[in-house]
Structure 1
């Protein structure tokens, strides 16, 4: 049995020992004995509290904690809505979700984690409306402290041991270090689920998807960058993209092409000069080698995608696992590049539009419907394939798809940490925010009812 309950401060009791005020009816419904002491598990924190019988009118939906109980649970002294269930006569409250990300060394309350600040607040608010606790921390603070949202601002303090870590670390170098790998093993040993284990490399994604025969025809040719391969490909294709294997947000992308006998390079991050031209392939190659150095880059075949007013267009399809652990399409947007830009990423000045509107400006209604259906099918097939083959617990993926002038979709790349930036002031909760919470809640419910708490959900075999 599962209930949504409000945890309220019990102001009248200042005893130094944890005290809980809870009704007989709620305990009976949860199959918990009516004893003088109750064991509470909130997140992965365990509290043994003295029990005081509640006679409140809404006692089925309300539980009171005294201050000592709040302190023992390491939660802010504020009303909280949580899910309540039981396991082996223990009152289980949750879920507790920790967002692990980068936090500035000298934080101010307005700019703690700027790239995902609005998302963190949105997830907190949705969780509180639907029963769950969210806090934000980083690798140096976690698990001792983090930031709670108190309704007005983010406040640092003690935090409970969480049930689920939502990985929003944006630095791939940190994820690859031995220290982070050791932490992952420690979390696993302590039965903490790690949601979205790590970044996915473009080459690894391509290699996995290429094995599926029904996906091969939708993948642009892709190889590891080298000077020899560049010479071969530019003579064959005359137009290629060169991308960091572990890149994101449209940074450090190079467009290399031949036009009227000249070699042209467009780039997003290497210099203030957006375009360079050369009379020889060797000269162009020297600049590319200087920029790339020993870093891992790929070369990808350029597909002539649809354009509007010379703006590049692609489509971002967000996919999430639902409470039945099935992949679903959560949202789809068309992305248009900014003027004089060759990438459509929002972080590079691009903006979004409705996919139907964009496609209908180029194709007829029947063709548009076919393209939209095929893009959804392609996205779902891709994320299913990746989550079955890749390591770790994956529940969220962003799929980038381009459409050529014949209406054929092409799979550009798949991102394990899609951007959380909002480009609107809509007060409604985004579908992706709802999906993340509901999936975390489903994981918590299953874990909270297991006799074997060590069962590893990170193998993605549910």
Structure 2
């Protein structure tokens, strides 16, 4: 369906019933039937019919009575909207309506969207620029009505409104526990029944992703050996490797990761938390296992082989590739950065004090230009392959993935991790109103999903 940016102007009709006025230029562009006298207007799940007349005008303009705007839950002020004409049903469609689902904290000065606050502003600004309706909302108590309570960004602040029900939803819940709540399960079930697409479907744990990638033969050479944590696997792995990592299946931000190194007189254990990194030594395996057990308890962890990674002055380096889907669900890289750990730390996450730098700058410390270009292209290709596999085999729709890669001292790339809710602090948060490519990619993918849903409904 072809969308056109149209200026929608409220006006008080002098007629006894509200009417729709369409500029001649727009009527021609939309190929409205010349003899049309009654037009159905639709915005998401809200519709209204009214008489329609053409008015002189070379720009794309629709003039609507405030009562029509009110019925469609649109703002009763002049705005640009994306509009299309459904010839099969003789219907003018206003929208699209995009909702971002996340946790919302109410504060005196407004709402707090945690780590994605500025990012949501970018999404809102870009949507306003192209004529899409974008807002943020939390899991509603009721969702049978054709409207929803959400927050719309205007005049540099988020304001609460009753808004049209979203036609596509981007899941940016921060907590796995919220995805496990019955309310979320019921809500997403209703979305599926109504054929309203939503992405990213749910958090994927490290073990699930590892098994998915292991099935892809062409990616197996880049996967560190990985197993579920147990006393037996820990013992056998310490016989096999001099260094291993123990990671929580559902961890994030580099928290609660253990590094175990074999030493001549025992084992060295390092542990990462959000505040600090703690190291200690143990003379026997029993002592080591007892200490690990006090941390791990009943949580699920994986064991991963230690890698001798590229470093900057002894600080391990990894690479984050942010990948987005577009038309025909094809993946592309929208940003890439390198991360060097804080001095003395073994995790590179920015939340742990890591340093962000360009991929080329990180590679330049070890490689000449020709090899640098080859490695950079190779990393990009692996990231796209990983995104393609995970997006293809995972249940639900995924439109955005953060792929963490690394390079060892022999120049061999490794797949470290896949993030289904990637951080928004890694693709150069703008200091100006500029909208990042990652934000544009999300909105454009939303438009694509809506368009595909409309086509399937015909």
Q: 8 Å contact 2:274–2:351 — kept in the other structure?
A: no
Partner SS state of residue 107, structure 2: coil
Distance 1:8 1:25 in 2: 14
More off after superposition, 75-84 vs 240-249: 75-84
**Judging changes above 3 Å, is the alpha-carbon distance between structure 1 residues 19 and 297 closer, same or farther for their aligned structure 2 residues?**
farther
Query: Relative to structure 2, which stretch is displaced further, 85-94 or 395-404?
Result: 85-94
Structure 1 position 399, deviation (Å): 0.7
The 5 A counterparts of 1:69-218 are 69-87=68-86, 88-104=89-105, 106-140=106-140, 144-218=148-222
Structure 2: distance between partners of 1:14 and 1:415: 56
| Residue pair 2:10, 2:78 contacting (<8 A) in 1 also | no
Cα distance in 2 between the residues matched to 1:77 and 1:350: 48
The aligned residue for residue 458 of structure 1 is none
CA 1:50 to 1:277, structure 2 compared with 1: closer, same or farther past 3 Å?
farther
> 1:268 aligned to 265, 272, 282, which one?
272
Of residues 241, 249, 252, the one that matches 1:248 is 252
RMSD value, Cα? 2.4
Shift in CA distance, 18/393, structure 1 to aligned 2, threshold 3 Å:
farther
Relative distance call for 1:447 and 1:295 in structure 2 (3 A) is same
Q: Match of 2:65?
A: 66
| Structure 2: gaps spanning 5 or more residues | none
Partner of 1:46: 47
Q: Distance in 2 between matches of 1:246 and 1:291?
A: 15
For structure 1, which segment, 65-74 or 161-170, has the greater mean C-alpha deviation from structure 2 after superposition?
65-74
Moved more, 401-410 or 28-37: 28-37
SS of residue paired to 2:213: helix
| Residues 1:370 and 1:272: Cα distance change in structure 2 (over 3 Å) | closer
Sort the Cα spacing of 1:13 and 1:337 in 2 relative to 1 into closer, same or farther, 3 A.
Answer: farther
Distance 2:189 2:32 in 1: 34
Task: Pick closer, same or farther for the CA change 1:355–1:15 going to 2, 3 Å.
Answer: farther
Q: CA distance change for structure 1 residues 19 and 302 in 2, over 3 Å: closer, same or farther?
A: farther
TM-score, normalised to structure 2, is 0.91
2 CA distance for matches of 1:441 and 1:246?
31
The separation in 2 between residues aligned to 1:424 and 1:386, in whole angstroms, is 26
What is the distance in 1 between the residues matched to 2:206 and 2:372? 28
1:460 alignment partner in structure 2: none
Inter-partner Cα distance in structure 2 for 1:17 and 1:261:
90
Q: TM-score by structure 1 length?
A: 0.90
Match of 2:341 in 1: 337
Structure 1 gaps of 5+ residues are 453-462
Q: Kindly tell me: are residues 259 and 73 of structure 1, through their superposed partners in 2, closer, same or farther at Cα, counting changes over 3 Å? A: farther
Q: Check conservation: 1:18, 1:72, Cα contact below 8 A.
A: no
Q: Is the 8 A contact 2:231 2:289 kept in 1?
A: yes
Q: Distance in 2 between matches of 1:183 and 1:311?
A: 44
Cα shift readout 1:408-432 (whole Å, capped 9, x = no counterpart): 1100011111111365444222111
| Contact kept? 2:4, 2:84, Cα under 8 Å | no
Q: Deviations over 1:229-288 (max 9, x none)?
A: 112212321311111112222222222222342422222228866223222222221221
Residue of structure 2 in register with 1:446 after alignment? 452
Moved more, 331-340 or 410-419: 331-340
Q: Identify the range of structure 1 (43-52 vs 380-389) with the bigger mean alpha-carbon deviation.
A: 43-52
Q: Secondary structure at the match of 2:56?
A: coil
**Aligned equivalents of 1:109, 1:117: Cα separation in 2:** 14
Deviation at 1:151, TM superposition (A): 2.7
Whether contact under 8 Å (1:136, 1:148) holds in the other structure is yes
- Using the TM superposition, give the Cα deviation of residue 345 of structure 1 relative to its aligned residue in structure 2, in angstroms: 1.4
- Report the equivalent of 1:367: 371
Post-superposition shift, 1:116? 0.6
Q: Partners in 2 of 1:336 and 1:251 — Cα distance?
A: 16
CA distance in 2, matches of 1:447, 1:136: 21
Secondary structure in 1 matching 2:21:
strand
Whether the aligned pair in 2 keeps the contact of 1:32 and 1:91 (CA below 8 Å) is no
